C-alpha cells in the first residue's frame, strides 16, 4: 500500500497519528508498570519498540486489561475529544499517590512533509520512553500494595457516545469519583513534550507528597 | 586545567540538573574529546561527587578472563552496576580493564536505559564513530551502490565471504587472547553500532548468536545481546538463512581470528576490546556491505526490482509494533514510500503577487527535510521552506532542495530498499513541474 505523502489527506494523517498514539500509550503503560514496580520485575519481558528495548508485561490478564483500556482511549481520541490520559497509582485506600499524565492537543498538520519517514517522531517517542525510565530517580518510591488505574479526560458527549458500545464489550468506562481524582498537595514533574505533525502531546507526573509520607 | 573544570561542570549539569544518563560514548561525542578522556572525566566526576556526598551511581565496564568452566576459559566484557563491581572482579581470574561506563543520578533498573541513553547520538555519528577512539582502520570505506555484487552470486558469496567478514568482525571483537571471545557484552555494543547496517549486522550477529547462546554469562549486557537476537529474529526470513551460513563461519573464525589478533595486538597494544571491536566493527560492517549479501538485502533488492513496495519501508522507518500488544490493532499507519524516489522539494521563488485571487502570506521557515539522495542514503537537511498560511492551502508549497553549505548534513544509511535513480535527472524534472504547478 503506497501512500502518496504529498497529497495526503488530513484524515489519513490524523488516523496515522491516532494509531501511533495508541501504540505508544500501550508501551508507555507497560514501562510505567515496570519502572514503578507495580508488578514484580519477573513478569516483564524485554521486547523491542522504536528500535530500543522496552519491558512488556507477559501476564495475560494484565495485557488484556491494558489492551481494552487503550482501545477505549483510542475511540475517545478518534473524535478528537480526548484531553488527557492519566495512569493513576493509588494506595490501599484508593487515594491517588501519583499520576502519569499525557496531555493531548490537536497536532498541526501542515508540516507532515518534514517528517515523511516518521524518523523524528520515532526519535521523540524514544526520548519519552527514556524519560519514563529516568522518572523514578526523581520521584519518591511507592509504598507496597498499590493499585493502578487509567483515567481519561474527555468531553461528555464522547463519553456518552461510547458508553453503550463499551457496555457491550463488557468493559464500561465509568465516571471517576471525586476521591479518585483529587490529589492534595500535588507537585508536578514535567517529563517530555513533543509537537510532531502527527502527535502533539506532553507528559508529566503529578505526585502527592502527603500521601506518600503516611 | 581550565578546560577540564569546564567539562566537569558541564558533566555536573547533565547528571544532576537534567537527570541524564551520561555514558562515556555520549560524553566523547558531545564534547568532542577522545573516549579515554571521557572515561577519565567520568571517573574524576564520580570521585568528586563522593567527596561532596552527592549521590550519583555509576556503572563500570570490566573485562578479563573468567575462571574456567568445564576447562574452557572465557574472556568476558561486562557492564555492571557499582554494587556488583567487587563481586564480579573477584569472579575473574585476571582483570584486564575497568573503566566507568556511565554516570547517572539514580540507580538503573536495567540496561534498557543505558542503550537508550546514547542511541540517538551514536546513530547520528555512525560513520564517524571511530573519530575519538583508538581503533582505526583506514582501508575501510563505505561502499557505494555500484560496487555491490549482483544478487545471483549472493548465495555463494555469502558462504565464501561470510567466513572472512564474519570472522573479521568476530575477530576484532576479541582482543589479546586467541581464545574464543565471548560476545555477551560486545554483541550489545555491536548492536549499537551496526543496527542501521541491517545486512552486515544480520550476518555477524547471526554467527555471534551461536556463540552467545552457548555462553551462559549472567551479565547485564547479556540482556542486550538477547535483545539484539530478538531484534534479528523479528527481521524475518533472512535471519533463517543467515543462521546457516553463520554456523559454517563460526569454526573458521578461530583461525582467521588468530591472524587478525596478532596484527591487532602488535598495532594497538591496548586492552580495550570493546572499543576495538566496535570501531572495527563499524568499519567492517561497511565493508561487509559489499562483501556479504545477506538474504535480507537480497529480499530487498528483489522487492526493489519488482515494485516500489512500501512495506519494507514500514519495517524500518516506522515504529514496529511489539508482538504483545493487541492483535486487534493493525500495525501501521505509517506512511510510506512516496512514489517518487527522491522527493525533491522546490523552493518557492515566488512572490506573493503571483496569485491575484488569494492573499497568501508566505513565511520562510528553517525546517529539517528528510529525503533520499543519489546514493540511496537518507539525508536530513535544514532547508528554508516558505510556508503559506492560507487556509485553503492543503499541501505545503513545494520546496526546492537547496543544499546550503551552512546547513548541517547528517547522513543516515537507510537500508537500501529503495531504488536510487539518478537524482540529477529528477531534480531537473521536479524543478520544471513545480514551476508549472505553481500556476
> What is the per-residue pLDDT for B146?
58
Give the global pTM. Answer: 0.54
- Report the relative pairing of strands A52-57 and A147-154 from DSSP bridges: unpaired
CB contact under 8 A, B310 and A3: yes
The answer for B 230-259 residues in CB contact with A (under 8 A) is 230-231, 234
Of B111, B119, B394, the CB nearest to A126: B119
> pLDDT digit string (tens) for A8-62?
566 777 788 888 889 999 999 998 888 888 888 889 988 888 888 888 999 999 9
> pLDDT digit string (tens) for B234-263?
444 444 444 444 444 444 444 444 444 444
| Statement: residue B61 has pLDDT above 60 | yes
> pLDDT digit string (tens) for B65-84?
887 777 778 888 888 888 88
| Statement: residue B60 has pLDDT above 80 | yes
> What is the per-residue pLDDT for B435?
65
CB contact under 8 A, A49 and B322: yes
Q: For residue A74, give the H/E element and its range.
A: helix A60-78
User: SS3 letters for B52-90?
Assistant: HCCCCEEEEEEEEEECCECCECCEEEEEEEHHHHHHHHH
Over residues A136-150, the mean pLDDT reads 83
Q: Which residues pair with A90 in a beta bridge?
A: A96, A147
B381: helix, coil or strand? Answer: strand
- Rounded distance, CA B251 to CA B359, Å? 72
Of B119, B338, B370, the CB nearest to A119: B370
Over residues B144-153, the mean pLDDT reads 58
Which three three-digit cell numbers place residue A163? Answer: 458508553
Contacts of B399 in chain A (CB under 8 A): 113
Listed residue (B88, B96, B2, B15) closest to B49, CA to CA: B15
pLDDT above 90: percentage of residues in chain B: 0
Over residues A60-76, the mean pLDDT reads 87
pLDDT band with cut points at 50, 70 and 90 for residue A110: low
Over residues A158-173, the mean pLDDT reads 73
Over residues B204-209, the mean pLDDT reads 41
Of B21, B321, B371, the CB nearest to A23: B321
Return the higher-pLDDT residue of B193 and A150: A150
> pLDDT digit string (tens) for B94-110?
888 888 888 888 777 77
Over residues B119-148, the mean pLDDT reads 72
> pLDDT digit string (tens) for B348-403?
333 434 444 445 566 677 777 777 777 777 777 777 766 555 444 434 444 443 43
Number of inter-chain CB pairs under 8 A, A vs B: 181
- Rounded distance, CA B24 to CA B5, Å? 17
Of A35, A48, A66, the CB nearest to B230: A48
> pLDDT digit string (tens) for B273-293?
444 444 444 444 444 444 444
CB contact under 8 A, A130 and B394: no
Q: Which of A7-21, A71-85, B102-116, B299-313 has the lowest mean pLDDT?
A: B299-313
| Statement: residue B26 has pLDDT above 80 | yes
Of A2, A41, A53, the CB nearest to B337: A2
Residue B383 CB-density burial (10 A; 0-12 exposed, 13-18 middle, 19+ buried): buried
Mean pLDDT of chain B: 58
Contacts of A16 in chain B (CB under 8 A): 333-335
Contacts of B433 in chain A (CB under 8 A): none
> What is the per-residue pLDDT for A112?
63
Return the higher-pLDDT residue of A133 and B187: A133
Contacts of B329 in chain A (CB under 8 A): 19, 22-23, 71
CB contact under 8 A, B332 and A19: yes
Of A4, A51, A119, the CB nearest to B338: A4
Mean pLDDT of chain A: 80
Asked if B306 has any chain A CB less than 8 Å from its own CB, the reply is no
The ipTM value here is 0.75
Q: For residue A23, what are the contacts with CB-CB under 8 A and spacing of at least 6?
A: A49, B319, B321, B325, B329, B331
CB contact under 8 A, B329 and A53: no
CB contact under 8 A, A26 and B368: no
Return the higher-pLDDT residue of B29 and A3: B29
Q: How distant is the alpha carbon of residue A200 from its chain centre? A: 13
Q: Closest chain A residue to B381 measured between Cα atoms?
A: A114
Q: Which of A185-189, A191-195, B163-167 has the lowest mean pLDDT?
A: B163-167
Is residue B108 within 8 Å of B21, Cβ to Cβ? yes
CB contact under 8 A, B104 and A133: no
> What is the per-residue pLDDT for A91?
84
The answer for B 127-146 residues in CB contact with A (under 8 A) is none
- Rounded distance, CA B355 to CA B358, Å? 6
CB contact under 8 A, B333 and A5: no
Mutate to test the interface with B, among A36, A40, A53 (most CBs of B within 10 A): A53
The answer for B 386-405 residues in CB contact with A (under 8 A) is 387, 394-396, 399
Over residues B218-241, the mean pLDDT reads 43
| Statement: residue B24 has pLDDT above 70 | yes
Q: For residue A4, give the H/E element and its range.
A: none
Over residues B223-229, the mean pLDDT reads 41
Q: How far does chain A reach from its first CA to its final CA, in angstroms?
A: 56
Return the higher-pLDDT residue of B55 and B301: B55
- Rounded distance, CA B435 to CA B353, Å? 15
| Statement: residue B168 has pLDDT above 70 | no
Listed residue (A98, A112, A113, A107) closest to A193, CA to CA: A107
| Statement: residue B177 has pLDDT above 80 | no
Q: Which phi and psi (to 5°) does residue B428 adopt? A: -60, -45
Return the higher-pLDDT residue of B297 and A210: A210
CA dihedral B348, B351, B357, B363 (to 10 degrees): 70
> What is the per-residue pLDDT for A10?
67
User: SS3 letters for B119-160?
Assistant: HHHHHHCHHHCCCCCCCCCCCCCCCCHHHCCCCCCHHHHHHH
> What is the per-residue pLDDT for A145?
83
> What is the per-residue pLDDT for A27?
92
Contacts of B413 in chain A (CB under 8 A): none
Amino acid at each position: 500500500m503506497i501512500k502518496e505523502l504529498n497529497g495526503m489527506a488530513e484524515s489519513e494523517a490524523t488516523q496515522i497519528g491516532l494509531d501511533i498514539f495508541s501504540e505508544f500509550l500501550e508501551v508507555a503503560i507497560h514501562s510505567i508498570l515496570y519502572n514503578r514496580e507495580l508488578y514484580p520485575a519477573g513478569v516483564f519481558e524485554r521486547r523491542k519498540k522504536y528500535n530500543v528495548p522496552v519491558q512488556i508485561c507477559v501476564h495475560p490478564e494484565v495485557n488484556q486489561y491494558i489492551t481494552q483500556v487503550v482501545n477505549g482511549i483510542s475511540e475517545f481520541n478518534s473524535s478528537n475529544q480526548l484531553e488527557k490520559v492519566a495512569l493513576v497509582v493509588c494506595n490501599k485506600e484508593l487515594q491517588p499517590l501519583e499520576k502519569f499524565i499525557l496531555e493531548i492537543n490537536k497536532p498541526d498538520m501542515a508540516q507532515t512533509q518534514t517528517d515523511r519517514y516518521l524518523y523524528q517522531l520515532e526519535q521523540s517517542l524514544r526520548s519519552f520512553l527514556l524519560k519514563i525510565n529516568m522518572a523514578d530517580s526523581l520521584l519518591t518510591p511507592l509504598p507496597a500494595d498499590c493499585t493502578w488505574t487509567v483515567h481519561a479526560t474527555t468531553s461528555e458527549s464522547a463519553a456518552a457516545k461510547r458508553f453503550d458500545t463499551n457496555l457491550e464489550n463488557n468493559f464500561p468506562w465509568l465516571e471517576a469519583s471525586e476521591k479518585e481524582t483529587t490529589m492534595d498537595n500535588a507537585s508536578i514533574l514535567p517529563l517530555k513534550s513533543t509537537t510532531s505533525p502527527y502527535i502533539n502531546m506532553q507528559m508529566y507526573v503529578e505526585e502527592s507528597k502527603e500521601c506518600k509520607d503516611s | 586545567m581550565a578546560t577540564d573544570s569546564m567539562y566537569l561542570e558541564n558533566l555536573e549539569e547533565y547528571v544532576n540538573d537534567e537527570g541524564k544518563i551520561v555514558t562515556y560514548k555520549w560524553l566523547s561525542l558531545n564534547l568532542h574529546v577522545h573516549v579515554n578522556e571521557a572515561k577519565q572525566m567520568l571517573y574524576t566526576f564520580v570521585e568528586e561527587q563522593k567527596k561532596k556526598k552527592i549521590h550519583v551511581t555509576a556503572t563500570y565496564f570490566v573485562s578479563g578472563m573468567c575462571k574456567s568452566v568445564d576447562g574452557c576459559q572465557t574472556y568476558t566484557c561486562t557492564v555492571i552496576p557499582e554494587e556488583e563491581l567487587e563481586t564480579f572482579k573477584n569472579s575473574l581470574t585476571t582483570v584486564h580493564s575497568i573503566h566507568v561506563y556511565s554516570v547517572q543520578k539514580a540507580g538503573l533498573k536495567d540496561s534498557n536505559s543505558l542503550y537508550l541513553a546514547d542511541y540517538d547520538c551514536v546513530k547520528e555519528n555512525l560513520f564517524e564513530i571511530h573519530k575519538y577512539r583508538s581503533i582505526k582502520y583506514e582501508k575501510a570505506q563505505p561502499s557505494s551502490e555500484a560496487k555491490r555484487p549482483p544478487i545471483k552470486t549472493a548465495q555463494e558469496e555469502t558462504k565464501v565471504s561470510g567466513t572472512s567478514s564474519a570472522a573479521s568482525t568476530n575477530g576484532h571483537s576479541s582482543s589479546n587472547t586467541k581464545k574464543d571471545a565471548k560476545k555477551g557484552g560486545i554483541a550489545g555494543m555491536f548492536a549499537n553500532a551496526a543496527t542501521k547496517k541491517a545486512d552486515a549486522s544480520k550476518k555477524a550477529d547471526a554467527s555471534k548468536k551461536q556463540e552467545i547462546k552457548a555462553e551462559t554469562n549472567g551479565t547485564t549486557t547479556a540482556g542486550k545481546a538477547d535483545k539484539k537476537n530478538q531484534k534479528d529474529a523479528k527481521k524475518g526470513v533472512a535471519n533463517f538463512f543467515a543462521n546457516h551460513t553463520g554456523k559454517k563461519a563460526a569454526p573458521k573464525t578461530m583461525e582467521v581470528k588468530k591472524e587478525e589478533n596478532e596484527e591487532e595486538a602488535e598495532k594497538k597494544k591496548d586492552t580495550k576490546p570493546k572499543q576495538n571491536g566496535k570501531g572495527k566493527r563499524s568499519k567492517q560492517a561497511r565493508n561487509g556491505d559489499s562483501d556479504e549479501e545477506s538474504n535480507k538485502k537480497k529480499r530487498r533488492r528483489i522487492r526493489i526490482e519488482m515494485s516500489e513496495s512500501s512495506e519494507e519501508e514500514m519495517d524500518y522507518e516506522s515504529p514496529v509494533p511489539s508482538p504483545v500488544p493487541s492483535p486487534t490493532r493493525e500495525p501501521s499507519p505509517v506512511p510510506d514510500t512516496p512514489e517518487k524516489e527522491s522527493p525533491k522539494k522546490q523552493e518557492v521563488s515566488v512572490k506573493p503577487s503571483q496569485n491575484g485571487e488569494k492573499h497568501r502570506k508566505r513565511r520562510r521557515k528553517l525546517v529539517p527535510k528528510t529525503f533520499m539522495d543519489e546514493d540511496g542514503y537518507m539525508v536530513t537537511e535544514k532547508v528554508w521552506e516558505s510556508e503559506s498560511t492560507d487556509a485553503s492551502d492543503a499541501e505545503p508549497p513545494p520546496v526546492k532542495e537547496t543544499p546550503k553549505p551552512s546547513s548541517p548534513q547528517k547522513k543516515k544509511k537507510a537500508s537500501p530498499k529503495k531504488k536510487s535513480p539518478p537524482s540529477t535527472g529528477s531534480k531537473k524534472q521536479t524543478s520544471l513541474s513545480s514551476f508549472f504547478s505553481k500556476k
